[in-house]
Chain A
Amino acid sequence: MSDVRVRRAVASVAGRYSAVLALMLFLLLPAIWLVLSSLRPNREIFTSMPSWSFLGLTLDNYEWALSERGMGMVQLLATTLFVCAATAVLTAVFAMLAGYGLARYQGVGARAAVVILLLAQMIQGPMILIPWYSVTAQLGLLNTRTVLILIYQTITLPAAVWLMSSFFRRIPQELEEAAAIDGAGRLRTLAQVVLPIAMPGVAAVTMYAFILAWNDYQYALTLTSSRTTKTVQVGIAQVMESLGATNWGGIMASGVLAIVPVVIVFALVQKTLISGLTAGAVKG
């Protein structure tokens, strides 16, 4: 009797962990394969059969990826880091204000504000690119980092405002009422009472904006191409097209370098971000 029960418990544990293993293999193996291949000497990459061995690894591909005569990742990463950081800071400031407003506003058009935010998340990419291109060309903003920072706000702001407001709603309003009784103005209350509590949320939203901006390809592809304005993705894609299959090792090393910054940023705020994203989605 107990033997059966033990066997059944073991089978259930084995089943559970093999399911997790299968899921993780699907989600992680391709990335691991990328890292491993990027460490293999380029001449081996095409000539030999796939290998999962850790022997004979080299950093040559990374040298090529970073050098100016190779992929020039230093310049690409610097540009992208600057654009994404600026996007994130700008988004954080405006989304913080708007999110606070959205969390507390109960007057006319409160629903309209929500509808505008939701619709804005659906109006993306090809739907807005043509006027953006024409207008920024007229303003002489094509091929600048400014235009990227501006258009990235359309990716980041709708979701960021939504997230911020869900963080602010969790803060009890009595705190603000107490501050008001003490004679603090509303902006002062926001700065001195509300923000310190909402800080983890603000940090998470800032990093979320950074990740979203880092993930853009289509806007950068359309609006930038010069050496000092193109982003990591545009740079790698251009080289991939022109070099074709000749230096896969170097391209893969560049790919790894392009993931590292976002992985770090995500790891920093993972907990708050995931709880915020899920809370917002369930309510929405």
Chain B
Amino acid sequence: MTEAVSAAIGTGGRGAGRVRGRTGAWMRGQGFWLALMSPVLLFLIVTQFWPLVDTSRISVFDYQPTRSPDSTFVGVQNYVDLFVNDRRFWIITRNSFLWMLGSTAVQVVVGTAGALVLNMNLRLRGLWRGLMMVPWVTPVVVVAIIWRWMFDGGENGLVNYYLGQAGLLSDPLVWLSSDVWVWPVVLLASTWKGTPFVILLVLAGLQSLPGELIESARVDGAGAFKRFRYVVLPHLRPTLAVTTLIALVTVWFKFELIWALTTGGPAFATTILPIYVFTQAFRDFNFGMAGAVATIAMLTLLTVVGVLGLLTRLRKEGSS
């Protein structure tokens, strides 16, 4: 009782000291860790979160800095223009889904297969695992050089030449100038660039799979396919979900690979929403419209991620 009273009097009597003491104690406790983190967190909020908000803000303005420094509020006019008046918009949206889902799916499938291969008992496994990262470190412009050169439209282009030799092609195909044939090239190049990282992540998932599980399945007489389907795949599911998410986001915002390969062409055949943001903003300097496209691009990504998340959750509940 007396202790409590004297403590109360004591602290009451030294108000300023109490505050300093508390901050000091906080800094000696959890506050120190927060102080270490805060520069980075503040930086990211100012340089990424604020620009994101600002981008959607200008989407309701008519803002074309090369014409006039002022912006005027136009409400949803930019969105209406896109949905109703812009014939390219729906083609670009279709391309976007083709690219997002196609490239991600191919990367995850090829990457999983690659990881299964590199998880086998091999000599020089470390060497293979290091070498497979070459495409990952190759800058996109160089990736573009490589694939443009391999799919060169002349008859001596590597792919044309061998397809011709095999009798599959009578005339050289001008791959990058065809609205249809440009897609396999773009998807192949993005698979080449993106697969190593997927392999890396899936390999990590595979390494946490206990060998006895596979062994006991083998003893039970399960063939390679059944072992994969009923033992390996269920174990990999969380890894694959994370991997798919990472691949999806990368494929969406790293539009630079398409840009370096085709600049979105021929015409708009390989333009996706993020590229359209870029051309609207930095070719036409129509910042308001670009903001609207960017907002739609972000919402598209969130929708796809949300649907995928829902599907995996349903899957999980269904299986458990």
A-side residues, CB < 8 A to B, are 16-17, 19-20, 23-24, 26-28, 30-31, 33-34, 37, 46-50, 94-95, 97-98, 100-102, 104-107, 109, 113, 116-117, 119-134, 150-151, 153-154, 157-158, 161, 186, 211, 214-218, 221-222, 232-233, 236-237, 240, 248, 251-252, 255, 258-259, 262-263, 266-267, 270, 274, 277-279, 281-282, 284
Contact = CB atoms under 8 A, between A and B. Distances in A.
Contacts of A279: 204
Given A127-B297, A158-B44, A282-B242, 18 more contacts: A27-B196, A30-B135, A46-B154, A94-B40, A113-B37, A125-B253, A129-B51, A130-B58, A130-B281, A217-B140, A233-B139, A237-B144, A252-B149, A278-B200, A278-B207, A281-B201, A281-B242, A282-B205
Contacts of B147: 30
Contacts of A232: 139, 141
B260 interface: yes
B114 to A, nearest CB: 5
A262 B282 contact: no
A218 B137 CA distance: 16
A127 B55 contact: yes
Q: Is the interface of B mostly helix, strand, loop or mixed?
A: helix
B249 A48 contact: no
B50 A105 contact: no
A155 B207 CA distance: 28
A166 B254 CA distance: 26
A102 B30 CA distance: 11
B135 A31 contact: yes
Interface in B106-159: 113-114, 117-118, 120-122, 128-135, 137-142, 144-147, 149-150, 154, 156, 158
B39 interface: yes
Q: Is the interface of A mostly helix, strand, loop or mixed?
A: helix
Interface stretch (B87-95, B213-221, B286-294): B286-294
A103 B180 CA distance: 49
Q: Which 6 A-B pairs have the closest CB atoms?
A: A101-B36, A278-B204, A107-B30, A105-B33, A128-B51, A126-B277
B128 A24 contact: yes
20 contacts: A23-B113, A24-B128, A30-B146, A30-B192, A100-B36, A123-B49, A126-B274, A126-B278, A127-B297, A129-B278, A130-B277, A131-B50, A186-B28, A232-B139, A233-B141, A236-B141, A237-B144, A277-B200, A278-B204, A278-B207
B77 interface: no
Given A26-B192, A120-B44, A263-B134, A217 B33 contact: no
B63 to A, nearest CB: 9
B41 A98 contact: yes
B128 A20 contact: yes
B278 A278 contact: no
A148 to B, nearest CB: 13
